[in-house]
A and B are shown apart, each in its own frame.
Chain A
């Protein structure tokens, strides 16, 4: 069983389009995250949710809107895509806050042309 899954794995789209990435975890964790990994492989936190409540929003443009319908799911919707949004996006989950290890999904490679 996959612990943290993301769909799609690859996403190629044009500037100005709107797209969504879905994430699901079956670990029973309370906290979920979205990270962006750029071309230099630097992993930066975007959002953190705990029990469906937004805890961290790391100065991400408001074109990015996370939604957590329940504790097991955290989706990311991106409006008006820009070239600079091209990156790999990782979803992760943990049993609690930053004292706990995180389990990552396989990533979604977003390419904006």
Chain B
């Protein structure tokens, strides 16, 4: 069964303190690994898509990487405005089903 597990559940950082979020996945036939950001009271907002092991994508202070079993979202020198829930998802079996992880809630304190 396709599965996505994110860790940690919550992460508290000081402004400028870099860290990484983990997403482990099990899927038969990866069609894409996605990272989304969700702010309270809003819908998830697309950040990155990764398709193959070794691929990396960057956007401002965020960098996503992919291996055959997991993905990392690296946050460099975070700012308070980076506080949000970060969701990992995989495009799974059948071509039209996306499985989301439970998310990591990130708190960045000034």
Contacts and interface: CB of A to CB of B under 8 A. Distances in A.
Interface of A: 4, 31, 33, 40-45, 48, 50, 55-56, 58, 90, 92, 97-107
B43 A107 contact: yes
Contact of A56 (B90, B94, B102): B94
A106 B43 CA distance: 5
Contact of B98 (A40, A45, A107): A45
A101 to B, nearest CB: 4
B98 A98 contact: yes
Interface residues of B, number: 27
Contact of B32 (A43, A48, A90, A100): A100
A100 B100 CA distance: 14
Interface string B46-88: 1001010000000000000000000000000000000001010
A4 B100 CA distance: 19
A102 B95 contact: no
A98 B31 contact: yes
Contact of A48 (B45, B87, B96): B96
Given A101-B46, A106-B42, A107-B42, A41 B96 contact: no
A56 B97 contact: yes
Nearest to B35: A101
B92 A41 contact: no
B25 interface: no
Contact of A101 (B41, B49, B92, B95): B49
Contact of A98 (B41, B45, B95, B102): B95
B100 A44 contact: yes
Contact of B96 (A4, A43, A97, A101): A97
